[in-house]
Structure 1
Amino acid sequence: MSSAENDLGDLLRAWRDRCSPTDVGLSAHGRRRAPGLRREELAGLAGVSADYLVRLEQGRSRRPSAAIAAALARALQLDEQETAVLYQAAGLPVPSGRTVPVHVPPGVQRLITRMVDYPVAVFAADWTLITWNALWSALNGDPAGRPATDRNVIRATFCQAPAWANMHGPDEGNERALIADLRQAVTAYPEDENLRSLIAEVGDASPRFRDLWNSGAAGRHVTSRKVMHHRLTGELALACDVLTVPGSDLKITVYTAAAGSPDAERLEFLRVSAVHTVTP
């Protein structure tokens, strides 16, 4: 297949070659015959099979889904312009400013991969989980296999989705802050049908959500205490902070424990366990 017929594959190989393992938080094991990420490394970061990535690069598969395109863009740390090129090469509509964006800037992605000592995750304006680090997965279970509808904090908080039950307990201040975030998202993206569907769905399922939404409740995020239960460590009491990204609607959630505390020791145990789990 000629290069002109395989723009997507050529682009993926070029972007993969320019990314070093350390850029994305990986250790460079053994000698490398070529610069950049190995196919299996990129596949793991993007949550796709190595075989599927080979097919994309060789032009045997040329139409990834929008979700896979977004995952590849994040894994390759593409900027907004490069992400648009990726979507175009894949025959996908470029995400417009009319919908809640899921693009994670390279600087934020580097921050996530380098903060190995803390569970860290990035959420979109509608509080859908976009990306996370290894310790987040170790603490909460790997979200990669869950559909996006099961990775939304609004649903989890007001509809008690089992996948998030150990993360977000009842907290009126947190509920009001989430409502305020959702109102801001609706103002910023009034044409986003998925966002409106989310509000309608949760409103139908949760009287609590309806009451807060209709009352005009508002709040802001403050450091909160989350008590979690993990099969390897038992109970952990962690501080949860929500950080914002200038010029973006993204939310970064970070869990920490007091230095030298039993909870810090349990968190370190999980970090080491996660490293041994993912290292060949």
Structure 2
Amino acid sequence: MASSRSAFAALLRAWRDRLSPADAGFTVTGGRRAPGLRREELAQLAGISVDYVLRLEQGRAKNPSAQVVGALARALQLSRAERDQLYRSAGLLPPRDGTVGTHVPPGVQRLAARLGDVPIGVFAADWTLVWWNALWSALLGDPSVLPTAERNLARALFGNGAAHAWGRPVRSERGQDAFAASIVADLKEAVSRYPEDARLDRLVRELREGSDAFAHHWVTGTAAQHTTDRKTIGHPEVGDIVLDCDVLIVPGADLRMVTYTAAAGSADAGKLDLLRVTGGRTAPAPS
């Protein structure tokens, strides 16, 4: 078991040293002693503590969970083969084919990291959020405060857990009912593609049993294609901000990249610029 932890630690250190901070979306400044990511940067990307990263790299942390290993693999921008190697070195089986994938290809992450002036979130086929940038957090709230299982758009819309109470109010120009119906339609399609995915099956069963609205859409809904939408986000710092929301499909990975943009020079673009500077933190009221 100690040798397994040692192998995991060695891979983690080597792949952290390999990843360029710029490719991960960080601004590169002088004074860096090593070309790769710092531990605190990896911790931020993976949504875990710096102390835990340190213990993993020193081989002192036992039995990291599949969720932690998956988050580290995405943060380190590993290829699918490297991801599987990291899982095995942790004593875990890699994700099986035929289940909803949460792996974000390195090229997609590099592309998204270079679009730092656009709020971007990457979702799996079951609408679980698996990657986001700093401006996404500033606009909509920091997803890292949620348990991993709650970082799911369907749970936010129809569940009664932490996801439902989290984040900013978002209104769709198409109407909330039409938007909700499209998410349920996506889940029905995902079930047809991944009939053996236990996590997806559990998500659907819980929502059908716990939400009358979800159950209604599941029974009566038809396929609903995602199109460009306009969303109004109620933000505590900048007030209502109206943005175009686009859903871009990543071919071959069954992922959805969701972006929010505003026309250059518009008042809403100015609000996004402010959020980019403040990080979405509400300024204290004057005394």
Calculate the TM-score normalised by the size of structure 2.
Answer: 0.89
- Which residue of structure 1 aligns with residue 90 of structure 2? 90
Query: What is the aligned partner in structure 1 of residue 108 from structure 2?
Result: 108
User: For 2:26, what is the secondary structure of its paired residue?
Assistant: coil
Which residue pairs with 2:181 in the alignment?
176
Q: Which residue of 2 aligns with 1:167?
A: 170
| Other-structure match for 1:153 | 153
Using the alignment, how far apart are the partners of 1:276 and 1:159 within structure 2?
A: 27
Q: Distance in 2 between matches of 1:3 and 1:202?
A: 42
The answer for the alignment partner of 2:10 in structure 1 is 10
Q: What is the deviation of 1:2? A: 9.0
Structure 1 portions without partners, runs of 5+: none
Task: Say if 1:156 and 1:165, in contact at 8 Å, map to a contact too.
Answer: no
Decide which structure has greater helix share.
1
* Structure 1 counterpart SS, 2:166: helix
Tell me, in whole angstroms, the C-alpha distance in 1 between the residues paired with 2:33 and 2:153: 43
Provide the residue aligned with 1:132 in structure 2.
132
Equivalent residue pairs, number: 277
Tell me if 1:264 matches 2:247. no
SS at match of 2:93: coil
Q: 2:212 aligns with which of 207, 213, 225?
A: 207
Name the aligned partner's letter for residue 47 of structure 1.
Answer: G
Give the superposition deviation at 1:141: 1.1
Q: 1:220 to 1:4 in 2, by over 3 A?
A: closer
After superposition, what is the alpha-carbon deviation per residue over 1:191-250, rounded to whole angstroms, capped at 9, x for unaligned? 112211211221123322222211242110011111111111011111111110011211
Partner of 1:22: 22
Distance 1:275 1:220, change over 3 A: closer
Larger deviation, residues 126-135 vs 169-178: 169-178
With over 3 angstroms needed to count, the CA separation of the structure-2 counterparts of 1:177 and 1:61, relative to structure 1, is same
Following the alignment from structure 1 to structure 2, what is the Cα–Cα distance between the partners of residues 156 and 39? 31
- The alignment yields a C-alpha RMSD, in angstroms, of 2.2
Measured against aligned partners, the alpha-carbon deviations of 1:36-70 in whole angstroms (never above 9, x if no partner) come to 11222212221222221111111111421111111
Runs of 5+ unmatched residues, structure 2: 283-287
For residue 186 of structure 1, the aligned residue among 184, 191, 211 is 191
Q: Which moved more, 1:96-105 or 1:203-212?
A: 203-212
* 1:56 partnered with 2:56: yes
Contact 1:25-1:114 at 8 Å conserved across structures: yes
- Per-residue deviation at 1:164? 4.5
Return the match for 2:203 from 185, 193, 198: 198
Match of 1:235 in 2: 240
AA matched with 1:19: L
- C-alpha separation between the residues in 2 aligned to 1:22 and 1:275? 22
> Could you report, residue by residue, the CA deviation over 1:124-175 in whole angstroms, capped at 9, with x for unpaired residues?
1110111100000001111102013432111222347121561355434323
Task: Give the AA of the match of 2:13.
Answer: R
Q: Distance in 1 between matches of 2:148 and 2:5?
A: 32
Please give the secondary structure, in 2, of the residue aligned with 1:45.
Answer: helix
* Alpha-carbon spacing, 1:240–1:79, altered in 2? closer, same or farther (3 Å): same
| Corresponding residue number in structure 1 for 2:285 | none
What amino acid is aligned across from residue 193 of structure 1 in structure 2?
A: A
Could you tell me whether the CA contact under 8 Å between 1:156 and 1:168 is conserved in 2? no
Distance 1:34 1:185 in 2: 42
Q: Secondary structure at the match of 1:55?
A: helix
Q: Which is worse superposed, 217-226 or 202-211?
A: 202-211
Could you tell me the TM-score, scaled by structure 1's length?
0.92
